[in-house]
Structure 1
Amino acid sequence: MAAVGPLSPAEAEALVRALRGTELRDAGGMGWLWQHECVEKLNMHAILSASAGQEQLLTELLVSHAKIPVLIRELILAEVWKHKVFPVLCQLEDFHPSSTFPIYVVLHHEASIINLLETVFFYKEICESAEDSILDLIDYCHRKLTLLAARSASGQAVTQQELHPEELAMQEMQKQAEIMEFEISLKALSVLRFITDHVDSLPLSALTRMLSTHNLPCLLVELVEHCPWSRREAGKLKKFENGAWHVVPPEDQMKMTKLDGQVWLALLNLLLSPKCLQKYHFDGFNKSQLLKLRAFLTEVLLDQLPNLMEMQRFLSHLAVTEPAPPKKDLVLEQVPIIWDHILKKNAGKWEAIAKHQAQHAFSHTEEELKFQAHRWAQVYSLDMLEALAPEKPRCRLCGAEAAKRCSRCRNEWYCTRACQVQHWQKHRAACNLLAQARGPSGTQ
């Protein structure tokens, strides 16, 4: 078996060059699928390259070919599709696809792009190459963090027993979309933190957007307070890490997670940077919200992230002083345009787009599904996915550590036979497609 590794420089450049903007109506079509494959391969390449310390080439390609604005537009286009077209698609009475996997691929497109951006936005050059579209990305991150802050700790169970099989499949898609939305929001948090790392390189409009328009410091305080990636179930503390909820043993419950760190680092950047201090309005409300952070700055936390001692000193000073009002500059402020442009261009067309896609993108014959499944099997290659895995496999149903893999598609893991049987109704369609794509021998 060939060794799994990043793409060659020539392959990476070819994929970067191939990135193109698409239209909302095209989602799920053949041309759109080619773009998705490019993004997915670059996403996997970026993760493998980062783990090997070789991601510089990809960042240079994305900057030199001016592809970051293209990716940001595609990210927002995928978001609009999910919120405007997908709900209409789920309500179409005469739409009963033989497989919902093609719809899942379109839903997953947003997750693939934000994951790619999370990997590369660590670099200042990437942030600068976003140019005016950085405003759209800031707005996108704000929308996701607002959803995250408002997210209820207790999810509602899906009443599947009263649904017909066709309705059950679409209901499962909606449930998957909700789960994906949570994970995408966590990625957006990381992207926002990287943007705040480079506040000195951002245009003044971007700083105004973060501090005045959206008041991101107060939104981040809410995330510290409510910590949506932490919850209690049956008396046990669970935290969300590496794509799954894990029970935290008592001795690790005070340990800071990567997500906790992202929030605190973003707050440090937005509150203690000289440019931000001049721009932010420390009025009564903002001041009272920020002072809530003092209760969380325990010795245990400061030991794990010593930079927060500077935050502690700042808050102590803030509590007894009245900061100067923000410096007001007379500037022509830029505004984000991508979200509004997509909404205006497609206003009143959501149902027509959904019907068009139901007929042309998501109603495949058996042969078309087999052909498409073969392409998916090549993109989501088993060796590549295993190389990307951050830890031992987890059961697809209950999340426990798993040692058994589905022998047909070899794509899902289970801890016991009982979990596999219980999950079969949901897994069957994708399993059949991938098994057919790999052929009777199980090879591609």
Structure 2
Amino acid sequence: MEPSQHALTREETERCVDEIQPVPLDQYGSDLWFQQHILAERLNNRAHYSVQHQVEEFVGDLLAERGKLAVLAANLIRIGAWKAHVWPKLDPAVLQQAHIKAYFLLFHEATLMNLLEIVLFHQPHVLALGPVLPDLIDYCATRVAWLNTAEATAARAPQEVPPAASPAQLAAPSDPAADLQAHRTQLQFTIAMTSISVLRYITECGEALPLGAQQRLFGHHDVPAAAIYLIHNAPWIRRRVSTDAKAASPAPGRREATLERFNEGRWEALAHDDVPRLGKTEAQVWLLLYNLLLEPAFQTRYPFTAFRVRHVMSLSDVFTATLRDQLPVIERLERYVAQVAILH
């Protein structure tokens, strides 16, 4: 299948890859940063096009061969640090005046993460990260742990529109500063969910994963524990409660609850029959946990404590026949949990 007129050709992709370069922290918002953002967007679009149309995926290969994957990962880590430490100190008046550029500054991190999620599916690309790999694990593990916090729970709460809002209220111009904060929260949640997939692809490397990277997974961060908390907390599911304003007075409006699942960066309403089915993110968490606990090269990296034994055994409460049918690795994971209960 030939690329569409909107997708980069291989030659165009090569030129984009060659132009990728590090962006110092003091250059965020500059012309250099904007050029790098456009390059990342174009490469991300091409990588997604290749996957969606099942054509040759050469973006990751070119980035790995030319040493640019590590550059992109380092830029991702820097923009994450910039958002955490610089963004809160920016003058709100400046943000309101330049809110479009500010939005792109926020969105840049999600673009880089989205691109890495695609290209790191392949093990050679993960290993091509070299010395940056442990830092990328730190970046992802921190965001996965954040998903288990009250702040993340609040971030995924649906924004309800009051049923009594008038057309004039709905059409009124919004506050740019409030919009930016809402975008920041939404993107933070999306990036954290994407971090699950990236960690799963990293753990697919097994014994090929450098010892320093393994230490970040099991020592510096307890990623298995974070993954188990995710299984129990299910941040990819939320309940939206809507009020039926047409209910007869004086009876209060009827409140109807709809379950929604986070998928591909947005929340989608779930039909009743779809509730038991695994979503993409939930499946990634199970596969990540399977790799962390059952990969032979990793098992000596995770010594069991009393807390870890109890935490792993808590998975017994969530194993179901429906889950086993959808994800074959669940049976092996279930046997492993039973073995932990016997041996510890």
Deviation at 1:54, TM superposition (A): 3.1
- Structure 2 CA distance for partners of 1:97 and 1:313, relative to 1, 3 Å: closer
Q: One-letter code of the match for 1:13? A: E
- Asked if 1:212 is matched to 2:234, the reply is no
Matches of residues 110-121 of structure 1 in structure 2 within 5 Å? 110-121=109-120
- Structure 2 CA distance for partners of 1:3 and 1:272, relative to 1, 3 Å: closer
- Asked if structure 1 preserves the Cα contact closer than 8 Å seen for 2:278 and 2:326, the reply is yes
CA distance in 2, matches of 1:156, 1:88: 27
- Asked if structure 2 preserves the Cα contact closer than 8 Å seen for 1:218 and 1:286, the reply is yes
Matches of residues 31-430 of structure 1 in structure 2 within 5 Å? 31-91=32-92, 95=94, 97-150=96-149, 151-153=152-154, 155=157, 168-234=175-241, 235-322=257-344
Give SS of 1:240's match: strand
CA distance in 1, matches of 2:202, 2:196: 10
Give SS of 1:95's match: helix
Give SS of 1:122's match: coil
- Structure 2 CA distance for partners of 1:120 and 1:257, relative to 1, 3 Å: same
- Structure 2 CA distance for partners of 1:6 and 1:118, relative to 1, 3 Å: same
1:163-193 Cα deviation digits (max 9, x unpaired):
xx99921121111100111011111111111
1:106-127 Cα deviation digits (max 9, x unpaired):
1110000000000000111101
TM-score w.r.t. length of structure 1: 0.67
- Asked if structure 1 preserves the Cα contact closer than 8 Å seen for 2:158 and 2:240, the reply is no
1:30-71 Cα deviation digits (max 9, x unpaired):
111111110110000100012223344222211111011101
- Structure 2 CA distance for partners of 1:225 and 1:96, relative to 1, 3 Å: closer
- Asked if structure 2 preserves the Cα contact closer than 8 Å seen for 1:19 and 1:70, the reply is yes
- Asked if structure 2 preserves the Cα contact closer than 8 Å seen for 1:124 and 1:198, the reply is yes
Give SS of 1:145's match: helix
CA distance in 1, matches of 2:55, 2:14: 15
TM-score w.r.t. length of structure 2: 0.86
User: 1:419 aligns to what?
Assistant: none
- Asked if structure 2 preserves the Cα contact closer than 8 Å seen for 1:16 and 1:62, the reply is yes
Give SS of 2:267's match: strand
Give SS of 1:233's match: strand
CA distance in 1, matches of 2:159, 2:258: 20
Q: One-letter code of the match for 1:203? A: P
Give SS of 1:66's match: coil
- Asked if structure 2 preserves the Cα contact closer than 8 Å seen for 1:239 and 1:245, the reply is yes
- Asked if structure 2 preserves the Cα contact closer than 8 Å seen for 1:96 and 1:166, the reply is no
CA distance in 2, matches of 1:205, 1:98: 44
1:250-293 Cα deviation digits (max 9, x unpaired):
11110000001000000110100111112211111011001111
- Asked if structure 2 preserves the Cα contact closer than 8 Å seen for 1:107 and 1:177, the reply is yes
Considering Cα pairs closer than 8 Å and 6+ residues apart, tell me whether 1 or 2 has the greater RCO: 1
Deviation at 1:222, TM superposition (A): 0.4
- Asked if structure 1 preserves the Cα contact closer than 8 Å seen for 2:207 and 2:298, the reply is no
CA distance in 2, matches of 1:288, 1:57: 45
Deviation at 1:313, TM superposition (A): 0.7
1:273-322 Cα deviation digits (max 9, x unpaired):
11111221111101100111111110000000011100111111111113
Deviation at 1:205, TM superposition (A): 1.3
CA distance in 1, matches of 2:56, 2:78: 26
- Asked if structure 1 preserves the Cα contact closer than 8 Å seen for 2:137 and 2:216, the reply is yes
CA distance in 2, matches of 1:127, 1:292: 31
Q: One-letter code of the match for 1:101? A: I
- Asked if structure 2 preserves the Cα contact closer than 8 Å seen for 1:49 and 1:55, the reply is yes
Q: How many aligned positions are there?
A: 315
Consecutive unaligned residues in structure 1, runs of 5 or more: 159-164, 323-444
- Asked if structure 2 preserves the Cα contact closer than 8 Å seen for 1:199 and 1:207, the reply is no
Q: One-letter code of the match for 1:277? A: Q
User: 1:334 aligns to what?
Assistant: none
- Asked if structure 1 preserves the Cα contact closer than 8 Å seen for 2:47 and 2:57, the reply is no
Q: One-letter code of the match for 1:233? A: R
CA distance in 1, matches of 2:187, 2:15: 29
- Asked if structure 2 preserves the Cα contact closer than 8 Å seen for 1:5 and 1:48, the reply is no
- Structure 2 CA distance for partners of 1:125 and 1:96, relative to 1, 3 Å: closer
